[in-house]
Amino acid sequence: MRKVRVRLGSNSYEIQIGSGLLAQTGQQLKGIGFGDKLVIVTNPTVKGLYGDILKQSLISEGFKVNILEVPEGEEQKSLETAGRLYDELSHFYAERTTPILALGGGVIGDVAGFVAATYMRGVPLIQIPTTLLAQGDSSIGGKVAVNHGQLKNKIGAFYHPRLTISDISTLKTLSPRELSDGLAEIIKHGVILDGEFFSYLEKNLDKIKSLDDQVLEGVVSRSAEIKAGVVEKDELDLGLRNILNYGHTIGHAIESVSELKVWHGEAVAIGMIAEARISNKLGRLDQKEVSRLKSLITRAGLPTEIPDLEVEKIIQAMKHDKKILQGKLRFALPKSIGNVFITDEVSPSLVEQVLVKGNEET
């Protein structure tokens, strides 16, 4: 098992990464000294796969466990779901000290985290991410949220878990598309801050795809460590965390114009290539680095070009994006693999150029 410490003063906590950790969760939580009541929030798919292992581990340590189910899907990240969970928590007599265990992907992590942050002004949260996207990215950083109308992820809080348990053996039941989707943010962490990690991913991609335990453990740990390092320096997203938005200025717009048919990691992958091309056109990033990135993204099973979407609509969606700054779009762009810079000086016409022309170039 590897451990990544997230240093945030009184909000500090540990991320544990390893194979078979679910079965030891009871012991871990006993060690922290929680009371005897716990709530698991999960969805039917994850409950079917991992609910029993987790529940047994908790029951065998004497915990009383209540499982609350949220149906599948992004649309469940809503105030209605949160409202229903508040009712169920209250029905179960959950108290301020009753921990909520978020067992699932990013959707469960976000909505259960939001409920943990707000029920009784905050109850202890344990993140147990089960997708590669959640283990390598979304469960780290304390952003918990629901969607509301056009406001995606905008009703939320910064709320850190007391402990995060990333059991990499849960990744074995993901579909190849889900695994690839999670790789996008992991690749992003290499591009923005760690060229050596990027090279490691290039060398070990086949082992990641064949779910080699040791390699997966290393990759999830390093990805978590990189994100934690940024979050430690900018917990409330007032500056440095902007670099995590590499690939997202364009990616978010693709995701929303596609009406979520293009998944988050897939949209970020397309966004990373388009934004690398922008950096190349600005004379900051070598064409060789753009090609390296494109090659790794392709090998990871991710798309590299916008699907059948209107470029004009993508540009419009970007203008609505939160990163709009006094009429200018904010971009985090790579200047080499492992280094990034922030700029507000990218014109919509340059974006249009890379999105349209991108289809013909390398």
What is the Cα–Cα distance from 281 to 291, expressed in whole angstroms?
A: 14
Burial of 202 (C-beta count, 10 Å sphere; 0-12/13-18/19+): middle
Q: Phi, psi at residue 338, to the nearest 5°?
A: 115, -5
Number of residues that bind ligand NAD (CB under 6 A): 28
DSSP β-bridge partners for residue 127: 102, 164
Q: How far is the CB of 177 from ligand NAD (least distance, A)?
A: 10
347 binds ligand NAD (CB under 6 A): no
133 binds ligand NAD (CB under 6 A): yes
What is the Cα–Cα distance from 311 to 257, expressed in whole angstroms?
A: 10
255 binds ligand NAD (CB under 6 A): no
Among 18, 26, 51, 105, contact with ligand NAD (rule: CB under 6 A): 105
153 binds ligand NAD (CB under 6 A): yes
Q: How far is the CB of 362 from ligand NAD (least distance, A)?
A: 29
134 binds ligand NAD (CB under 6 A): yes
What is the Cα–Cα distance from 218 to 337, expressed in whole angstroms?
A: 20
Q: How far is the CB of 163 from ligand NAD (least distance, A)?
A: 17
143 binds ligand NAD (CB under 6 A): yes
What is the Cα–Cα distance from 322 to 330, expressed in whole angstroms?
A: 9
Q: How far is the CB of 168 from ligand NAD (least distance, A)?
A: 10
Q: How far is the CB of 175 from ligand NAD (least distance, A)?
A: 7
Among 61, 137, 194, 225, contact with ligand NAD (rule: CB under 6 A): 137
Among 14, 69, 72, 237, contact with ligand NAD (rule: CB under 6 A): 72
Contact by Cβ (8 Å): 20, 32: no
CA distances (Å), 299 to each of 189, 207, 302, 304, 310, in order? 17, 12, 7, 10, 26
DSSP β-bridge partners for residue 157: 144
Q: Which residue is nearest to ligand NAD (CB)?
A: 106
Element (H, E) at 249: helix 248-257
Q: How far is the CB of 255 from ligand NAD (least distance, A)?
A: 9
Q: How far is the CB of 301 from ligand NAD (least distance, A)?
A: 14
| Pair of tokens at residue 111 | 């909505």
45 binds ligand NAD (CB under 6 A): yes
Q: What does the chain come to in residues?
A: 362
| Pair of tokens at residue 5 | 């410490």
Q: How far is the CB of 113 from ligand NAD (least distance, A)?
A: 7
Decide whether 64 or 172 has the Cβ nearer to ligand NAD: 172
What is the Cα–Cα distance from 264 to 40, expressed in whole angstroms?
A: 25
Among 99, 106, 251, 334, contact with ligand NAD (rule: CB under 6 A): 106
Q: What angle do CA 250, 201, 229 make, to 5 degrees?
A: 70
Among 77, 160, 162, 252, contact with ligand NAD (rule: CB under 6 A): 77
Site string for ligand NAD, 267-296 (x = CB under 6 A): ------------------------------
Q: How far is the CB of 72 from ligand NAD (least distance, A)?
A: 5
What is the Cα–Cα distance from 289 to 280, expressed in whole angstroms?
A: 9
- Largest interatomic CA distance in the chain: 62
Among 26, 51, 99, 104, contact with ligand NAD (rule: CB under 6 A): 104
239: three-class secondary structure by DSSP: coil
Q: In the chain, which ranges are E strands? A: 2-6, 13-18, 37-42, 64-69, 100-104, 125-129, 143-148, 151-158, 163-167, 324-325, 328-336, 339-346
135 binds ligand NAD (CB under 6 A): no
Contacting positions for ligand NAD (CB under 6 A): 43, 45-46, 49, 72, 74, 77, 104-108, 110, 130-131, 133-134, 137-138, 141, 143, 153, 170, 173-174, 178, 181, 264
